[in-house]
């Protein structure tokens, strides 16, 4: 059975050694003789179940150390050890570092074991809760995207195209954590489920909308954001989606993710109106004050990357995840199932062929297949 990792931080080396001797059979013990060394170890190992720190240390005390630990390793349970019965220090430690326990040295071995056992249990509960939330979130996202795919294939395909462009742009920009951007791009068109088939068909074909249709379409980001805000921990993603159509001049403090999503959505809109990639970029550059210039440069750099694809015509039964549909796919009655630019999902490989199982001969479709690098 794998042992739980525990980090002890104390400037008294003999005390550290005594902890290791006492607990090495029960836990995977790591030691650091200063706060700086402790932070370095945490930066290299993110799976400490428990981190304990002495209060009185040179250069950086335990309160400041555990306060920083809370930011860089929030899932690790934090314990403060001190040789001084300082209630004020205990209060600061609890408030700033969210301390699980505050112990006074010397700590009896049985007491230390009891507290560490409780701390490890707390770590397991936190991890289990996060896994549960992650699984719930993943299931909710899949459900929402599947509903969008069924009710509005045009909107779903657009979200897939924009998502690919957003992630490439973020990479060129240097954005490290793209999770919120990825989710926002994926769900950016969710509000379109409230629009009629006729409205979405007009949008897809670049036709003029009536005043009422335009108003409904213009408000779809707010509708999508309202739906997403009901999912725990998706508040920031909902905010990004709600702001996705706002020019930078109207919202100068918009999150970077919103700025990237805005540029990529407008590019996709212009490129889809038969302007082509180069003319669409030129049009974006003419819109003074609409976009973050650094983001616009990142988009330009992302589009300059020549992704290599093989173009093939395949039977629908040969569709595989990762392929990109290069033409609209419609039912025999003419209803749009998947629009051009859609990246094939696992669900699509099952659903689409089933729609044509009685068709003879089996329909074929033009696809783009990424070349192996």
Determine if the peptide bond prior to 106 is cis (ω within 30°): yes
Residue with tokens 């998706």: 234
Residue with tokens 């209630």: 87
Residue 88 confidence (pLDDT): 65
Q: How far apart are the C-alpha atoms of 15 and 10, rounded to whole Å?
A: 7
pLDDT tens-place string over residues 78-127: 998 887 666 666 666 666 657 888 888 888 999 999 999 999 999 988 88
How many residues does the structure list for the chain?
373
DSSP string spanning 269-337? HHIIIIIHHHHHHHHHHHSTTTS-HHHHHHHHHHHHS---EEEEEEEGGG--TT-EE-S-EE-TTS-EE
pLDDT tens-place string over residues 210-236: 999 899 889 999 999 999 988 877 889
Bridge partners, 81 (sequence order): 54, 103
Residue 97 confidence (pLDDT): 54
pLDDT at 373 over 60: no
Q: How far apart are the C-alpha atoms of 181 and 159, rounded to whole Å?
A: 12
Residue 18 confidence (pLDDT): 93
346, 321 contact by CB (below 8 A): yes
**Which domains occur in the chain, in start order?**
5-129 (3.40.50.2300), 152-305 (1.10.3210.10), 307-373 (3.90.105)
pLDDT tens-place string over residues 133-162: 677 777 888 888 888 877 888 888 889 889
Nearest of 253, 280, 254, 250 to residue 267 by alpha carbon = 280
Q: How far apart are the C-alpha atoms of 150 and 147, rounded to whole Å?
A: 5
């Amino acid at each position: 059975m794998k042992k739980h990792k525990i980090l002890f931080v104390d400037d008294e080396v003999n005390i550290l050694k005594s902890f290791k001797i006492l607990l090495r059979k029960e836990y995977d013990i790591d030691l650091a003789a200063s706060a700086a060394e402790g932070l370095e170890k945490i930066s290299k190992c993110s799976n400490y179940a428990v981190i304990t720190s002495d209060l009185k240390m040179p250069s950086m005390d335990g309160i400041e150390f555990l306060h920083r630990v809370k930011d860089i390793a929030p899932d690790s349970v934090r314990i403060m050890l001190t040789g001084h019965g300082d209630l004020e220090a205990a209060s600061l430690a609890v408030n700033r570092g969210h301390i699980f326990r505050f112990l006074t040295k010397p700590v009896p071995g049985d007491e230390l074991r009891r507290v560490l056992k409780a701390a490890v249990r707390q770590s397991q509960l936190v991890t289990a809760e996060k896994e549960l939330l992650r699984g719930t979130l993943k299931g909710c996202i899949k459900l929402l995207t599947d509903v969008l795919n069924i009710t509005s294939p045009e909107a779903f395909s657009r979200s897939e195209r924009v998502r690919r462009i957003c992630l490439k742009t973020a990479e060129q920009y240097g954005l490290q954590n793209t999770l919120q951007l990825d989710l926002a791009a994926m769900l950016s068109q969710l509000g379109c489920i409230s629009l009629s088939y006729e409205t979405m068909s007009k949008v897809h074909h670049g036709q003029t909308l009536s005043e009422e249709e335009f108003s409904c379409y213009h408000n779809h980001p707010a509708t999508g954001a309202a739906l997403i805000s009901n999912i725990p921990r998706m508040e920031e993603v909902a905010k990004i989606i709600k702001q996705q159509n706002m020019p930078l001049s109207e919202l100068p403090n918009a999150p970077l993710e919103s700025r990237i999503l805005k540029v990529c959505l407008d590019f996709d809109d212009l490129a889809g109106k038969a302007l082509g990639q180069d003319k669409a970029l030129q049009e974006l550059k003419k819109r003074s004050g609409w976009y973050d210039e650094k983001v616009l440069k990142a988009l330009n750099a992302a589009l300059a990357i020549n992704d290599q694809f093989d173009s093939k015509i395949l039977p629908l039964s040969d569709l595989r995840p990762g392929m990109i549909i290069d033409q609209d796919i419609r039912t025999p009655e003419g209803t749009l199932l998947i629009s051009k630019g859609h990246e094939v999902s696992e669900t699509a490989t099952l659903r689409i062929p089933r729609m044509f199982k009685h068709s003879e001969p089996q329909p074929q479709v033009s696809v783009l297949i990424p070349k192996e690098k």
